């Protein structure tokens, strides 16, 4: 059995026992993985509203009841305090530490948000014969701040962050079709082609992640990115904010295909 | 110029001036119409979360900033206090009155929610040659409480209410395809065929709206209904809750097609 075939329950059990602290790319590959954002309940309404107003960068998959660490819709037997491989803890907007268990930090004041992640639509693209350059080059996907402003909500505001994948010209239409099926995990691209039209002046110098090669005959295609809500929340310098560590996602019980709307 | 062709701005202007107090079915027909729910801010988070967890019956199109009556995403020049033809005012869960202006009731404590309405997908069905029986018979669409429980949020909970449209057997697949394109306005059906499997024991006796004829060779098809969030909120007996009067919707500046995800 490879890590592709592990069940979400099995992998989360290993994480809970401290036996799995690695990234989750490709693990339980037919299941939806999610970004985690934990915030104090005083910020929960504005954050939820921000996500509702900006569904492409912030597709909400589940929100815990206040104080609860149980994502009752996507994985009712899981515990967000222990069932991710690695967390990041931010205080007043500054990274304090990484850790593998946040039980001691979770109080009645906390609310957990799980947001869709690009692994789901990448899996769909790969199944359609469209390879991911960052996988081939063993890098992180390149991400960029854009001049596309999110709809603000309360004091949450900021630019949309996008990820970029070079796609062969002849595959661009198919890439739009395939990802349009998955609005819960960023959905269709937000932009195709010229990076400068969305405020990206140097495609070889991403704001997050790594540069990847764009070959002759390929077009840069941009999708809204789950880094957006983290960046926006961070900007507010919350007293305490906890996220997954990059690439160390929460694995839900839901199949990728369950989020295909057609 | 017929009412089909009026602009949303024009119709809302008439409503604001008290010159339009009629239902809005078919008015500005290429624009999205919306259900209105106004609640005190103390209930706003749980209601928003309830909607997020139950997107089929409760598709959120816009939420005002707390205390604001401006739906900044779908109609930034509109005012929810005056720009609907008729409102219903509920106190402690009981209908107090209908009126055409709620300016005096709107305080800093109120939040307005606009939720997608079936007019959008009905328009799409009609354009695909699928007629609406309740239109032909000049009735309200029949609606039923089901045994499908919504995902609860905080103290919001209750059964899903569905609307039913008889569809010719040979058109059922097309009806699924057409409405799947519009997840923001209830989306695909929740059930096709046997009413009893979703807890409807007498299809000729709807809980809301009117009975319509189901002809030989037609199948009852059920869609999640915007009455659900109103019914659920009403059950909480909020001190003050204001909604549109049935059929007297808010007309947004957004074209129906803008909400098609493919």
Domain edges within chain B: 8-118+229-259, 119-226
Q: What is the mean pLDDT of residues B180-205?
A: 95
Asked if the model's pLDDT at residue B25 lies above 60, the reply is yes
CA quadruple B10, B15, B19, B23: dihedral sign: positive
Nearest to residue B86, comparing CAs of B75, B74, B95, B77?
A: B95
Asked if the model's pLDDT at residue B2 lies above 80, the reply is no
pLDDT digits (tens, 9 = 90+) for A166-196: 999 999 999 999 999 998 899 999 999 999 9
Assign domain B8-118+229-259 one CATH number from 3.50.50.60, 3.40.50.300, 3.40.1640.10, 3.90.1150.10: 3.40.1640.10
Architecture of domain A8-118+236-259: 3-Layer(aba) Sandwich (3.40)
How many CB pairs (< 8 A) connect A and B?
46
Q: For residue B188, list chain A residues with Cβ-Cβ distance below 8 A.
A: 261
The pLDDT assigned to A246 comes to 87
Q: What is the mean pLDDT of residues B99-114?
A: 96
Question: Residue B119's CB: how many other CB atoms inside 10 A?
Answer: 22
Phi, psi (deg, nearest 5) at residue A104: -70, -20
The pLDDT assigned to B1 comes to 57
Assign domain A121-228 one CATH number from 3.20.20.60, 3.10.290.10, 3.30.950.10, 3.30.2040.10: 3.30.2040.10
In this complex, the residue of B48, B180, B187 whose CB is nearest that of residue A52 is B48
A63–B49: do the CB atoms touch at under 8 Å?
Answer: yes
Strands (E) across chain B are located at 31-40, 60-63, 87-91, 94-99, 110-116, 143-149, 159-168, 191-192, 218-224, 240-244, 250-255
B65–A187: do the CB atoms touch at under 8 Å?
Answer: no
Interface test with B, best of A49, A66, A70 (most B CBs within 10 A): A49
The Cα of B85 is separated from the nearest Cα of chain A by a number of Å equal to 26
Q: For residue A52, list chain B residues with Cβ-Cβ distance below 8 A.
A: 48, 52, 60, 63
Please enumerate residues of B whose Cβ is less than 8 A from a Cβ of A: 44-45, 48-49, 52-53, 60, 63, 65, 72-73, 151, 153-154, 177, 180-181, 183, 187-188, 261-262
Q: For residue A151, list chain B residues with Cβ-Cβ distance below 8 A.
A: 72-73
The Cα of B107 is separated from the nearest Cα of chain A by a number of Å equal to 18
In this complex, the residue of B52, B177, B180 whose CB is nearest that of residue A48 is B52
The pLDDT assigned to A1 comes to 57
pLDDT in tens, chain A (262 residues): 578 789 999 999 999 999 999 999 889 999 999 999 999 999 999 999 999 999 999 999 999 999 999 999 999 999 999 999 999 999 998 999 999 999 999 999 999 999 999 988 999 999 999 999 999 999 989 999 999 999 999 889 999 999 999 999 999 999 999 999 998 899 999 999 999 999 999 999 999 999 999 999 999 999 999 989 888 888 888 999 999 998 899 999 999 999 988 7
Sheet containing B159-168, strands listed edge to edge, beginning at the edge strand earlier in sequence: B143-149, B159-168, B218-224, B191-192
Instruction: Work out the pLDDT band at B43, boundaries 50, 70, 90.
Output: very high
Say which CATH class B119-226 falls into. alpha beta
A53–B73: do the CB atoms touch at under 8 Å?
Answer: yes
The pLDDT assigned to B136 comes to 94
Are the C-beta atoms of residues A122 and A140 closer than 8 Å to each other?
no
Q: Which tokens in the block code for residue A154?
A: 């309360």
The pLDDT assigned to A108 comes to 95
In this complex, the residue of B44, B73, B262 whose CB is nearest that of residue A262 is B262
ipTM: 0.87
Burial of residue B42 (number of CB atoms within 10 Å: 0-12, 13-18, 19+): exposed
B48–A44: do the CB atoms touch at under 8 Å?
Answer: no
Nearest to residue A18, comparing CAs of A111, A95, A84?
A: A84
| CA B120/CA B257 separation, integer angstroms | 9
The Cα of B75 is separated from the nearest Cα of chain A by a number of Å equal to 14
């Amino acid at each position: 059995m490879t890590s592709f075939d592990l069940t979400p329950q099995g992998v989360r059990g290993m994480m809970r026992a401290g036996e799995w602290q690695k990234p989750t790319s490709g693990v339980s590959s037919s299941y939806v993985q999610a970004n985690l954002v934990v915030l104090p309940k005083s910020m929960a309404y504005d954050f939820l509203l921000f996500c509702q107003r900006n569904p492409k960068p912030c597709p909400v998959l589940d929100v815990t009841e206040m104080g609860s660490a149980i994502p009752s819709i996507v994985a009712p037997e899981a515990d967000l305090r222990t069932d991710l491989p690695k967390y990041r803890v931010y205080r007043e907007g500054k990274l304090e530490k990484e850790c593998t268990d946040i039980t001691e930090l979770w109080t009645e004041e906390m609310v957990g948000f799980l947001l869709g992640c690009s692994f789901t639509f990448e899996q769909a693209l790969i199944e359609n014969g469209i390879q991911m350059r960052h996988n081939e080059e063993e890098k992180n996907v390149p991400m960029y701040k854009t001049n596309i402003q999110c709809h603000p909500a309360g004091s949450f505001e900021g630019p949309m962050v996008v990820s970029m994948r070079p796609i062969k010209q002849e595959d661009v239409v198919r890439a739009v079709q395939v990802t349009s099926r998955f609005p819960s995990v960023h959905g269709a691209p937000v932009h195709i082609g010229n990076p400068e039209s969305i405020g990206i002046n140097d495609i070889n110098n991403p704001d997050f992640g790594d540069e990847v090669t764009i070959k002759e005959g390929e077009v840069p295609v941009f999708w809204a990115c789950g880094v957006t809500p983290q960046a926006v929340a961070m900007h507010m310098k919350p007293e305490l904010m906890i996220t997954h560590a990059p690439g160390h996602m929460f694995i839900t019980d839901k199949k990728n295909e369950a989020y295909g709307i057609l």
